[in-house]
Amino acid sequence: MIKSGKTKNFFLLFLLCSGLFLAIGIFEINPAQVQNQNTYHIALEGSTWNRTILRILLTTPNHASWWNPSYLNDTLRAIGQWNEAIQYFASNFTGYAFLSIVKFEPSVSSQIQPGFNIYLNWTENELGNTEDIGGLTTTTEQGNVVINCSINLATHSQVGIPFFDSDMQNIALHELGHTLGILCTNNTGEIMTPLYSPPSSAKLISTLDVYGVASAFSWITSFNSFYPVNKWLPSQPVILPSNIPYEFLPVSHQNAQPQTLANNSYAENIVFWVEFLTYTGILPILILVISILIFVALYPKKKKKKVRLTP
């Protein structure tokens, strides 16, 4: 039997390619979600607003070299997504119609202006030693009543990679959740999980998130007993009552994240690693090593010339 050199080279290439795809597969980071509402809980901030319309000013750094205007649209979609989730919850679950008057009212400006409840701005770099990757919410409060909030959103990861639109919207959803009075949840598939691994596909707001918001705004039905807040605002994490199923709330086409490559779990990992390797300067070295391997695999081996000796 004769093994052809071509078959052998194809075999080597096949091994090389499957090795690469296996390596990419290892970085798959979206675990299958198991839903069990009895084990999920969400902690509350311990403070609440004494108003239901939250005016939010988004200040855009229009002239900054690192600024990408699509981050504004991502954040506005996150605000719209929260408003829709709250409305859906108020009209679909008995006893929570009071929530329908809670909403964000966004305005956009290139300059800070007075008179808003929440101020949101962007910075290029990550925000230091916080539990959040890329986002930070600071709350000013008095006697457990929120006076105002400021949200800082980073546009680039720690290694300098610009966030995808999906990451910006997901991180904005998380920070806006803090301004509504919810802290964090023990469910890793949630928007309010404290750790976030970019890139990640579109996240949805759950009934647990909005139930947490409803707990912080339950004063709406009995404003006379608003003070002192710590008398009625739960200090322990809350769990869903049995009549509310744990589910993700629908989002309209207008506020849904655009279906880009980054929203496909496999593509998002491939794109991330190509960007990561490019930014860190590893990509050229990797391409060189792979080229050498392919060259070695395909290079035709010189056959030894047989010298016929004359008798």
Burial category of 285 from C-beta neighbours within 10 Å (exposed 0-12, middle 13-18, buried 19 and up): exposed
Q: How do beta strands 145-154 and 135-142 pair? A: antiparallel
User: Whole-number minimum distance, CB 132 to Zn ion, in Å?
Assistant: 4
User: Whole-number minimum distance, CB 127 to Zn ion, in Å?
Assistant: 11
Q: Residues 172-189, buried b or exposed e (16+ Cβ, 10 A)?
A: bbbbbbbbbbbebbebeb
Residues 123 to 142 in contact with Zn ion, rule: CB under 5 A: 132
Q: Is 45 in the site for Zn ion (CB under 5 A)?
A: no
Q: Is 209 in the site for Zn ion (CB under 5 A)?
A: no
User: Whole-number minimum distance, CB 82 to Zn ion, in Å?
Assistant: 15
User: Whole-number minimum distance, CB 177 to Zn ion, in Å?
Assistant: 8
User: Whole-number minimum distance, CB 209 to Zn ion, in Å?
Assistant: 12
Instruction: Specify the residue, 106 or 134, whose C-beta has the smaller distance to Zn ion.
Output: 134
Report the distance separating Cα 242 and Cα 137, nearest Å. 31
Closest residue (Cβ) to Zn ion?
Answer: 132
Distances (CA, A) of 156 to 59, 69, 160, 274, 278: 17, 14, 5, 16, 15
Closest CA to 214 of 244, 247, 255: 244
Report the distance separating Cα 256 and Cα 250, nearest Å. 9
Q: Is 74 in the site for Zn ion (CB under 5 A)?
A: no
Instruction: Specify the residue, 132 or 268, whose C-beta has the smaller distance to Zn ion.
Output: 132
Instruction: Specify the residue, 155 or 269, whose C-beta has the smaller distance to Zn ion.
Output: 155
Phi and psi of 106, rounded to 5°? Answer: -85, 145
- By rule CB under 5 A, what count of residues binds Zn ion? 1
User: Whole-number minimum distance, CB 183 to Zn ion, in Å?
Assistant: 7
Q: How many CB atoms lie within 10 A of CB 131?
A: 10
Instruction: Specify the residue, 43 or 161, whose C-beta has the smaller distance to Zn ion.
Output: 43
Angle at 150 between CA 114 and CA 217, to 5 degrees: 100
Q: Which residues of the chain form contacts with Zn ion (CB under 5 A)?
A: 132
